[in-house]
Amino acid sequence: MNKKKQMSKVGFIVSSLGAAIGLGVIWGLPGYINKNGGFYFFLLYIVAMIIVGIPLLIFEFNLGNLRRKSVINIFEKENVKVSKFIGWFQSTLMIIISIYYSVLVGYTIVSIGIEFSPSLINDMGGNIFNKHILQSGGFGVSTHGGFQWIVFLAFLLVVILVGLILSFGVKGIEKLNKVFMPLLFIIIFILAIYILTVPGSKEGLATLFLKDNLKKLGTTQTWSSVFSLAFFTTSLGMGMMMRFAGVAPHNQDNTSKTYLLVIGILFLSVTNLIFIFGSSGAIVNNSISDKTNILLFQQEIKNKFGSDSMVFVFNVLPETFHIINQNTAVGFGNFLGILFFLALFIAGLSTTVGNTEVIVDAIETQYHFKKRRVIFGICALIIMVGLALVFENTYQLINSFQLLAAGLDLILVSFAQVIFFVHKAKKLDVLIKYNNKVSWIKLGTLYRLMMYYVIPVVLFIIIGFSIYDFVISTTTNPWYISILALMLGILVPIISALANSPEIFNAKNKIKKTIIQNEISKVAQSKLEDEVE
């Protein structure tokens, strides 16, 4: 590996954290928890991280660090056809995720704009982001045919920045992560501590512990969501972690870095939940007559911000920074809001860069096109398809993408990798030996048990749940949203994997030729025997 492409140890940690956290922890986790079971859902999330997240991160880090190849070639020693099929499915998936993720990162830019708008930051009517941005043009810009100009311009800026960063090297985003990732941790920690001093915050947190939340744990949606979230917040199945490990120092301690990454994710998750749900309680506090009735707080939070996990956080945060303005100095809340969204923007941007780099690397590796032409083509494609997500209410399509592309598909990729590498190729011991040479945390019988039996069974069950949930969602979503999500989330990655893996068809042709040759040989042998007789 070229040393210029090497990533430092600190760079590896902050880049992995930036890619893993991105918007997943800040945006995704509170929305999922609000919808799927409160604190009890979070406990399941921790269980999913222990059962699936940690073992698979160790797997991806060690495999990437050992092989140091593109995702389409990562398994070429075992089977070129399988390696390319899984790799191209995964790479195409990264385009799909980059499309809607770029829109979400654009939301953080819009949120920075809200902090500069007195009329919006002072609106305490609830659902600020929905009312002023998603259901109108935003900042006084009227919609035309439901087209959201502000969201589109923010989305366009994100894609342009991704293209520029990839064209001129990812060292810049690594340096930004070294500054803004610690800043994001510090800001959220301070905000979480501060919000607990505001009346109503503790009641807002108490809504997470209501017994009614336990009922939601009995649904397939909760279980598929919790494992999908574990994959999404750790970037498992995306190829990014293998990619980062592939440019990190060779023979690094991958197991300790896995635990460090997961601890960082869980720490940020807890502090963010305190901040977001404490804030939601503080915001509705003045409208609650009986401050001891937690059910009233829960209902008022739902009335004010809705239960849509997609935009829950973006609706809560603007009013939160307004409350900080009221309780401190005028403008201080806006200043914190700008810093917060800027740090979140950098984290989200680093994830988008990592996602897009996977597909750029795959095309470069197989077809040897010039890198900047590939980047231009990919970014143009993201912009064209992303237009579907910047019309009024089409943000609902992001939920369907999240269910398929960032849920079911990621789990399918990891399931296929484990079945092939561990069960078919029987190469797990190679990774264990590689890990144990350097890591002070040794892998042994327990890890083998998890990778051979527990993880495949768990993932198989969750895949079934996810398919069932998507089928059910088609009965409530508009038909065109379900069809578009199915096409982009499943059919396009499969078609791309087949089209870019000609070895599969060559293998079939070889089999056909062998069968025909065998038949010809049998006929010739039969004629020869007849002549002898």
Tens-place pLDDT, residues 484-507: 888 888 899 999 999 998 776 665
Q: What is the 3-state secondary structure (H, E, C) of 466-515?
A: HHHHHHHHCCCCCHHHHHHHHHHHHHHHHHHHHHCCHHHHHHHHHHHHHH
Identify the band that residue 513 occupies on the pLDDT scale cut at 50, 70 and 90: low
Residue that the structure tokens 């604190």 belong to: 39
**φ and ψ at residue 145, rounded to 5 degrees:** 65, 25
pTM for the model: 0.87
Average pLDDT, the chain: 85
At residue 3, the pLDDT reads 41
- Give the percent of the chain with pLDDT over 90: 49
> Which of the four CATH numbers 3.40.80.10, 1.10.10.10, 1.20.1740.10, 1.25.40.10 does domain 3-121+132-500 have?
1.20.1740.10
Binned at pLDDT 50, 70 and 90, residue 327 comes out as confident
pLDDT at position 127 over 70: no
Cite the beta strand spans of 284-405 per DSSP E: none
Structure tokens at 27: 């945006």
Return the pLDDT at 392: 73
Residue 144, strand partner residues: 147
Output the six-digit token pair for 183. 């800043």
Q: How far apart are CA 239 and CA 229, in angstroms?
A: 16
Q: What is the pLDDT of residue 122?
A: 61
Measured distance CA(270)–CA(274) in Å, rounded:
6
521 versus 426: which is more confidently predicted?
426
Crossing angle of the two packed helices 220-234 and 396-403, in degrees rounded to 10: 90
3-state secondary structure at position 154: helix
- Secondary structure class of 223 (helix, strand, coil): helix
The span from the CA of 288 to the CA of 292, in Å, is 9
What is the Cα–Cα distance from 249 to 172, expressed in whole angstroms?
19
- Say what the pLDDT of residue 145 is: 56
Instruction: Compute the average pLDDT of residues 476-491.
Output: 82
User: Mean pLDDT: which of 47-56, 111-120, 519-528 is highest?
Assistant: 47-56
Give the pLDDT confidence score for residue 454 in this predicted structure.
Answer: 98
Q: Which of 83, 203, 207, 96 is nearest to 504 (CA)?
A: 83
What are the structural domain ranges in the chain? Answer: 3-121+132-500, 504-533
Q: Which two tokens stand for residue 211?
A: 């017994």
Q: Please tell me which residue, 105 or 16, carries the higher pLDDT value.
A: 105
- DSSP 8-state code for residue 170: T
Closest C-alpha to 96, from 468, 388, 414, 349: 388
